[in-house]
Structure 1
């Protein structure tokens, strides 16, 4: 099933009308190769539907987030990003130079940390963000970042 079809079903299952504006927003998000901001989604939607408001885009993305159809990411880039890949097995690489964000699969699972209690703090969600320099930016600023193998461990 295509991502946009899955997202549309989330709205329909809640009895929400799938307006042409919502449908276009879902299509743009599903076709996105990155992790767009609401502003970027709105800009692309407006290429075909110039009257769509940023408020409509934000509301649709918020609803989709509430339904579990998109991840809402705060990666420290200054804007909330939205990720239609809701697979719990992926994490994010963020380039400190150009801001590019890409998905990465790690062999280790962060899912085993959910529900763990640390000093009375119950873990409900795990987000792993790996920061550094993408291949395009490695030669732009100083020495390259050494390559390291990702490793997760639960507990001390």
Structure 2
């Protein structure tokens, strides 16, 4: 569960009705939404929220480091509210759904010293790919 709303309140972020509804849409289950999906869900909660406001709010949240953009395989960017907890991503090769996963082990430890080429490695991004249940059922 994301704690995006709590983090934004703690920062003193100006919480207009439109900004709040965008944050509420992002907060919660970790299915990473596109900007258009955020807009569709936001307008269901607050019909007057504009597409421009959604895009501007997403851009601000990314700039603040409270949300990260996730782009895979040339698809539309998706927005991850889980910006402050280490995790990896599981991506459906069919529909592009992205889920957060927390595998056991340290991905940095998996890179042997001989393969680091003298780099001081500080982070690792691992992406798991496959088909979600819906796409697998229709394959």
- TM-score class, shorter-chain normalisation, is 0.7 to 0.9
| Corresponding residue of 1:99 | 96
Structure 1 ranges of 4+ moved more than 6 A: none
- The match for 1:80 among 70, 77, 80 is 77
Superposed displacement of residue 48, structure 1: 3.1
| Corresponding residue of 2:6 | 5
- The match for 2:128 among 108, 123, 130 is 130
| Corresponding residue of 1:55 | 52
Q: Which has the higher contact order (CA 8 A, sep 6+)?
A: 2
Q: What is the Cα-based RMSD across aligned positions, in Å?
A: 2.9
| Corresponding residue of 2:87 | 90
Contact 2:61–2:67 (8 Å) recurs in 1: yes
Contact 1:88–1:111 (8 Å) recurs in 2: no
Say which SS state the counterpart of residue 133 (structure 2) adopts: coil
Superposed displacement of residue 137, structure 1: 3.3
Tell which structure's C-alpha radius of gyration is larger.
1
TM-score normalised by the chain length of structure 1 = 0.69
Superposed displacement of residue 33, structure 1: 4.4
Contiguous gaps of at least 5 residues in structure 2:
none
- Greater helix share, structure number: 2
Superposed displacement of residue 81, structure 1: 0.4
1:24-52, CA deviations, whole angstroms, 9 ceiling, x for partnerless residues? 11111113541011111111111232232
Say which SS state the counterpart of residue 109 (structure 1) adopts: coil
Within 2, Cα distance between the matches of 1:60 and 1:33? 19
Contiguous gaps of at least 5 residues in structure 1:
142-156
Instruction: Count residues with an aligned counterpart.
Output: 135
